[in-house]
Amino acid sequence: KMPSSYRTVYAFAREMHPKTVKRDIQYGTAGFRDKASNLGYVMYRMGLLSVLRARYKKGIIGVMITASHNPEGDNGVKLIDPHGEMMEQSWEEWATKFANVQDDELEAIINEIVDKFNIPMTDRSVIYIGKDTRPSSPSLAKSLMDGILALSGKPVDFGIVTTPQLHYIVACRNSHEEYGTATEEGYYKKLVTAFKKLRGENCENGNYVNRLFYDGANGVGAKKIKFFQERLKDCMNIELYNDAGIGTGKLNYLCGADYVKTNQAYPTGLPIDPNVRCASVDGDADRIVYYFNDENGKFHLFDGDRIATLIASYLKEWVEKSGVDLNLGLVQTAYANGASTEYIKKQLSVPVACVSTGVKHLHHKALEFDIGIYFEANGHGTVVFSKNAKDKLRSVAKDPETGEKQKYAVEKLLAFIDVINETVGDAIADLLAVETILCDRGWDLKDWENSYTDLPNKLMKVTVKDRNVISTSDAERKCVTPVGLQDEIDKLVSKYQKARSFVRSSGTEDIVRVYAEAATQEQVNKLTAEVARAVYNLAGGIGEAPIVP
């Protein structure tokens, strides 16, 4: 028999948020994603789940309504745990279950989870909500709030914020503001103060000039950079482009970090000024890539691998100067350019780990180091510092015995901890970190590019009937099913020099991704198309078959 207290749950579902989609939806790489019109009931159910999670964890849970890099018509939801990290993976199964049961099964599944985890259902619970600029977000937020209210939780709406801002605010609130002040204003203050400290008097240095073109992807990243433009106007000249109004359909369209990385091309909407440093963020501002066009019109990309290596070399240098014994590690995925991995291992002598796609996997692995740097090639990443690292640095900073040079290095590292958003990849925090390092070194992008040469690489998408037929192992580097596909990939790869290729199904779009790299652009163009064709043939491709050049 159902406790009467959950009766509202079914009534709300039936009357306001009935399950409208028959097929199952899966909690993917970063939560649920779909056409916005399919998500009302999913949001309602995530409202229910977030209250249960909040009571179980005895802390505030965050819910971000966004589909990040996807087109404007899509939307989605990312759940945030109390420390500001993505929701623990063991609960993803529950999320998927919640999303897919029938309306009249909701009460039963609530009872099941309450029993299993012994959740105190009378405890108060607060859920923080954020949304990107998608026109569908306000109505989805309403559905989410109904779910929260149905279980007597308290929704607090932070309006339009970047995904990393919401992660930050959740982390602050649950740490009793040890991490920072739990408001948007607190976020600006923390990052700006740290950035100015790192910059000192130096606004320009050597080849570094402080002029930057910023592509806001016509999303929340454009809205929020304005707060930094204002506060940093004496030391940074950030020129904002792609700041179209909400609902114009331009979000991520021919611009933004995903477009630039995937197409390896300049986005629309920015003036093409040779040799000017440019940065693009994505639709919820948790990814960033840098690039420029040289005087011959050639495009140069600085993706997540580049940013990771820049940060790793900088931190390594200052840790050495600080004399504090801290271990440093870097985490990548299979998409990392082989040349970057080689450079990290051989030149930087920093250990590298490879994990499956999804910031949640990288973050987790990075926590194993005192200083864990993680980046996906698509520009999603950050640095995490262990408690041990912070404690050691703080105590050396305070110690009167510490020499001046050493103190300077330690203070620098402490300020760097504050400029980076440790909770999750944050395009704007990463931008401030990159600008700090380039200025410190007196580098322009050509200097940065000199550290290593990327192998030519390419990404392709293949549409198949059911992307779940693809399964992988070895951090997605080997394809297990469909049987025979990996043999085919191996055969194709062996025809080229320095070649590598893998395939995996996307967890945010209904497609299969194909990645390849090889010694020359011509080789990689061929190889990617051949592998894409093999996927099309062996994994049930639909639509037009990929054409091999």
Query: How many C-alpha atoms does 351 have within 13 Å on its Cβ side?
Result: 11
Tell me the number of residues near ligand G16 by CB under 6 A. 18
With CB under 6 A as the contact rule, the residue among 140, 359, 516, 532 that binds ligand G16 is: 359
Distance CA 334, CA 354 (A): 7
Which listed residue (9, 17, 19, 30) binds ligand G16 by CB under 6 A? 30
Smallest separation, CB 203 to ligand G16 (Å): 31
Residue 528, both tokens: 């990617």
Closer residue to ligand G16 (CB): 406 or 506: 506
Cα separation of 36 and 75, whole Å? 5
- The answer to whether 71 touches 33, Cβ cutoff 8 Å, is no
Residue 424 CB, shortest distance to ligand G16, in Å, is 9
Cβ nearer to ligand G16, comparing 215 with 376: 376
Taking each helix axis as running N to C, give the angle between helix 184-199 and helix 427-441, from 0 to 180 degrees, rounded to the nearest 10. 10
Based on the shown chain and the rule CB under 6 A, indicate whether residue 220 belongs to the binding site for ligand G16: no
Span near ligand G16 by CB under 6 A; candidates 320-328, 373-381, 410-418, 482-490: 373-381
Please, what is the minimum distance in Å from the beta carbon of residue 374 to ligand G16? 10
DSSP secondary structure letter of residue 95: H
Among 131, 380, 467, 526, binds ligand G16 (CB under 6 A): 380
As a whole number of angstroms, the distance between CA 43 and CA 90 comes to: 20
Strands 371-375 and 328-332: parallel
Q: How distant, in Å, are the alpha carbons of 33, 238, 395, 516 from that of 510? A: 10, 36, 50, 20
Q: Is the dihedral of CA 108, 112, 118, 123 positive or negative?
A: negative
Stretch of residues binding ligand G16 (CB under 6 A), selected from 94-102, 291-299, 336-344, 352-360: 352-360
- CB closer to ligand G16, 17 vs 287: 287
Measured in degrees and rounded to the nearest 5, phi and psi for residue 504 equal -155, 155
Q: Annotated catalytic residue: which of 68, 125, 501, 505?
A: 68
Instruction: Assess whether 68 carries a catalytic annotation.
Output: yes
Is residue 87 close enough to count as binding ligand G16 by CB under 6 A? Answer: no
- Bridge partners for 288 per DSSP: 281
The stretch among 446-454, 507-515, 517-525, 539-547 that binds ligand G16 (CB under 6 A) is 507-515
509 binding ligand G16? (CB under 6 A): yes
DSSP state of 83: T
Query: Across the strands, what pairs with 129?
Result: 63, 157
| Distance, CA of 331 to CA of 374 (rounded, Å) | 5
Min dist CB 357 to ligand G16, Å, is 5
Cβ nearer to ligand G16, comparing 19 with 287: 287
Residues 382 and 426: beta-carbon distance below 8 Å: yes
Dihedral of the alpha carbons of 508, 514, 517, 521, in degrees to the nearest 10: -110
DSSP conformation class of 286: -
CB of 65 to ligand G16, least distance (A): 12
- Smallest gap from Cβ 428 to ligand G16, in A, equals 14
Cβ proximity to ligand G16, 129 vs 410, nearer residue: 129
* Structure token pair of residue 47: 């409202």
Residues of 434-471 as b/e, b for ≥16 C-beta within 10 angstroms?
Answer: bbbbbbbbebbbeebbebbebbbbbbbebbbeebebbe
The token duo for 226 is: 């304005």
286 or 422: CB nearest ligand G16: 286
One character per residue 149-188, x = contact with ligand G16 (rule: CB under 6 A): ----------------------------------------
Task: Select from 252, 356, 501, 508 the one that contacts ligand G16 (CB under 6 A).
Answer: 508
The correct pick among 363, 441, 513, 526 for binding ligand G16 (CB under 6 A) is 513
Query: What is the SS3 assignment for 508?
Result: coil
Closest approach, Cβ 393 to ligand G16, in A, equals: 29
Residues 267-306 that bind ligand G16 (CB under 6 A): 282, 286-287
> How far is the first Cα of the chain from the last one, in angstroms, to the nearest whole number?
64
Contact between 507 and ligand G16 (CB under 6 A)? yes
Span 60-79, contacts to ligand G16 by CB under 6 A:
68-69
CB of 390 to ligand G16, least distance (A): 25
Binding region for ligand G16 (CB under 6 A): 29-30, 68-69, 282, 286-287, 357-359, 376, 378, 380, 506-509, 513
- Residues labelled catalytic: 68
